[in-house]
Amino acid sequence: MGLTSGADYHYAGLHLRGLSLSGIRTAISLPELSLSFDVAQGYPFLLNLKQFFLSHGHLDHAAGVPYIISQKAMNRQEAPRFYMPPSLVEPLDRIMKIWQEIEKHEYRYEFIPVSADLEIPVKGNYFIKVFPTTHRIESFGYTLFERHKKLAPQYQGLPREELIKLKDQGFVLNEMVHVPLVSFTGDTQIEFLNSRPWVKKSKLLLMEATYLDSLKTIEQARTWGHTHLQEILPHLDEIESERIVLIHASSRYTWEVAQRLLGEQIPEKHRSRVELFPGR
């Protein structure tokens, strides 16, 4: 794993690649779906993606926007689409105009404002849905959903011959089910957990945990719009996610120290499903 390639994380057919370190860099991509949550400084593993979902405008999450646009232009790729909080659109567009002036080159890009509950097509049966978060500046989280058909409850258990007969009679046997696969919070206070019901049901929940020990208090974390591990612990029973992957841990913790702190504090019944994202 390196800064150029990011770290790979695999779970239940999902492949993520990225990095997350508080105040330094956060960008976590799903390469097969050509999308990334946040962009850090615009590392090489992001450059060929098509859609970018910015949680907020702090530099460790969004500084790479101009570089990604520039690299795509140099390689004659299609204009990238950046989804972001509405208050970020005009300032980022202004920054791009300044870079165009500096470089004497006109760039192509799309800056698209989001709102809570907005659904954004991704690829095939996949789409992104936006949920509100609570940070020092305007911020949003994103959930990757998959649509698939499922036999409606009233027809489950019926013999195949009966189902065929009902279908021939014009009955609609299937219903469309939306399954939340991956939720990404960006920087946020713990209140995001109750912002939308599907977040806690996501198969994979990528959530901020900036502070992991008593050297920083919960109050100090909240002052900066962040989440402390001690705030997460009481909610573990209600979070239905198969895996809770903590991101944005402070650089004050080495990998070894962070792992030790999680091992000491996560209750045994949850220890197998709570982990730190491998890329830092």
Domains, the chain, ranges and CATH? 7-276 (3.60.15.10)
Cα separation values, 193 from 132, 142, 200, 201, 205, Å: 10, 13, 7, 10, 10
Confidence check: pLDDT of 174 > 70: yes
pLDDT value of residue 104: 94
Rounded distance between C-alpha atoms, residue 129 and residue 145, angstroms: 7
pLDDT for 170: 77
Q: What share of the chain is helix, strand, coil (3-state, %, to 5)?
A: 30, 30, 40
Q: Is the pLDDT of residue 43 over 80?
A: yes
Mean pLDDT, rounded, for 49-63: 98
pLDDT, tens digit, 9 for 90 and up, residues 87-127: 999 999 999 999 999 999 999 999 999 999 999 999 999 99
Give the whole-angstrom CA distance, residue 239 versus residue 262.
17
* Lowest-confidence region among 17-31, 164-178, 235-249: 164-178
pLDDT at 166: 64
> In a 3-state reduction of DSSP, which class is residue 157?
coil
